[in-house]
Chain A
């Protein structure tokens, strides 16, 4: 176990508490930077998907994990980002500008939904966001003059400052850059008053208000930023898949994002990365395992959703803090060995007392 002697308050504000952390995160970034030189092209592509999931997950985590607002329709913001970027870029806007504008368009629509969501909580919001996603899916499908509808929309090759980002490797670096910037921005927010206000809203709206937190401002901002990052992820995603169809952005994508957030670990930035790794790797693992299964099961459709769904159930019942929560426990076990007590992480249960009238 490491003890850090704190000598000024600034240390608590810094992202890294000690040099050990600085070293490990530095190593991680170095590994990510060097990865394309050592792994197969296929895996560079897969890593890029992973990075895009991290960006989208950052958006959703800010909303669900830190502000406590559940969105079950985040695929809509991916779609808005993807189509806005593809359309603007095709119209001739420079790559960087159209990328940013895609995020802003998505963020703007997020703000609209956020304002509508002000009076809703929990389940109402969840269903409202699903509805929003269905409507967006329909609009994308029907507005053929702009989106190409179900015939698809070909996304042009990404070119910025005359550099072609079309190759797997350069696009990977672009995504890595966006990931680092996005994660830093959100981490900074979370150590500032606005981020604390969001967490306050998550834990107790009433007492957040009593402490001077403006609910309207905070919730709307959370929705806007969340939609912005998810839209950005959508814009990058559009290049990765090359051809856009409404079917790319269904409710199943929204649920995949939710699984990312829950399985990764709600309310933790590390959780986003764990969750993204989980949803990227699981299909591959299933594909490998399929070879060893009896044909009766292996050939059936639905193995993937079955495994996804079952793992989600198991996590919710046995490890609601997700992969990151499990990791914290394992680490605690080793650092405190042999003094570790399971009760340290015992969850508190509460009994239901309703506020309903009848």
Chain B
């Protein structure tokens, strides 16, 4: 059984079909990429999985269970984390607080216990903190730990957002254009991190990406979309050479 499976999913906004009849499946442990020109519906796929949009047709399965009726926060509880194209961090908080927030799904205390700050709350906080420190080590964020997000450059924010998604300890990670806004050096670091995340932490990754190098380097399979329709699925080289894909990017 695949870890994630989408069958004939589709959605339209005000009569415009943003996505229709798209089916794909992602295997446990793989890095699956989605590419396509602007407006192809890549981010829409993510917003459907995150349940920010309702599906008009089709179904989505995680571990064989449908997630199409869940609330957005339940998606996180099921172990799906994501990043955003232009970053959506908690701007007025520190990097540390941002990463700690992602542990919300692992919370085992009630607000009453938290207000009294019972020993179990302190213990939980220490546990969260240790895990967050592991992520900070992994992504080399030590020097930014106590800095507020709104004072950080965009490249660092992207990494912090990746860190925040990892703090959720997901089984499936959705990365929305992780390399956009990064310089070549940062992009290279990123490709190593994505591989580490995938191999060492065993997290399955779905990635929307424009950078062909990054795509070819890390992902096993690529899905190409254009105008809300699926063009092809295959290895990066196959997809790049596919006539429909070439046509979608370059025109007739």
Q: Which chain B residues have a beta carbon within 8 Å of chain A's beta carbons?
A: 50, 52, 71-73, 75-77, 81-82, 84, 88-93, 96-97, 100-105, 107, 109, 111, 114-117, 121-122, 124-126, 128-130, 133, 150, 164, 168
A189 to B113: give the CA distance in the assembly, Å. 9
Q: How far is the CB of A355 from chain B (nearest CB, A)?
A: 13
A121 at the interface (CB under 8 A from B): no
For residue B90, which residues in chain A have a CB less than 8 angstroms away from its CB? Answer: 199-200, 202-204, 207-208
Q: Are B116 and A13 in contact (CB under 8 A)?
A: no
Shortest Cβ gap from A231 to chain B (Å): 16
A203-B91 contact, Cβ under 8 Å, with A13-B125, A195-B114: yes
> Which residues of A are at the interface with B, using a C-beta cutoff of 8 A?
9-10, 12-13, 185-186, 188-189, 191-197, 199-200, 202-204, 206-215, 221, 267, 348
A200 to B72, CA, bound (A): 15
Q: How many A-B residue pairs have CB under 8 A?
A: 114
The CA-CA distance from A188 to B76 in the complex, in Å, is 25
Asked if A203 and B93 sit within 8 Å, CB to CB, the answer is yes
Contacts of A209 in B (CB 8 A): 50, 52, 72-73, 76
Rounded to whole angstroms, the CA-CA distance of A100 and B88 in the bound complex is 40
Given contacts A10-B122, A188-B117, A199-B93, contact A212 B77 (CB under 8 A): yes
> How many angstroms from the CA of A214 to the CA of B105 in the assembled complex?
10
Decide if the interface of chain B is mainly helix, strand, loop or mixed: helix
| B104 in contact with A213 (CB, 8 Å) | yes
CA distance in complex: A321, B111 (Å): 28
A335, B90: Cα distance in complex, Å: 28
Find out whether the CB atom of A197 lies under 8 angstroms from the CB atom of B129. Answer: no
Give the chain A neighbours of B150 by CB distance below 8 A. Answer: 348
**Residue among A194, A202, A204, A208 having the largest count of chain B Cβ atoms under 10 Å:** A194
Q: Which residue of A lies closest to B50 (CB)?
A: A210
Q: Which residues of B contact A221 (CB under 8 A)?
A: 111
User: Are B115's CB and A204's CB within 8 A?
Assistant: no
Which A residues touch B122, using CB under 8 A? 10, 13
> Across the interface, do A211 and B117 meet the contact criterion of CB distance under 8 Å?
no
Contacts of A210 in B (CB 8 A): 50, 72, 75-76, 81-82, 84, 88
A78 to B116: give the CA distance in the assembly, Å: 24
Among B73, B81, B91, B128, contact of A214 (Cβ-Cβ < 8 Å):
B73
**Chain A residues with CB below 8 A from B89, complex form:** 203-204, 207
User: Given that A13-B126, A196-B97, A204-B89 are known contacts, is A212 also in contact with B109, CB under 8 Å in the complex?
Assistant: no
Closest B residue to A224 by CB, please name it: B111
Measured between beta carbons, the chain B residues less than 8 angstroms from A188 are 114-117, 121
Bound form: Cα–Cα A206–B75 in Å: 13
Check A203/B92 contact, CB under 8 A, given A13-B125, A193-B104, A212-B104: yes
CA gap between A185 and B121 in the complex, in Å: 13
Residues of B within 8 A of A212 (CB): 73, 76-77, 102, 104-105, 168
Task: Indicate whether A189 sits within 8 Å of B111 (C-beta atoms), given known contacts A207-B84, A211-B104.
Answer: yes
Determine how close the nearest CB of chain B comes to the CB of A137; give it in whole angstroms. 31
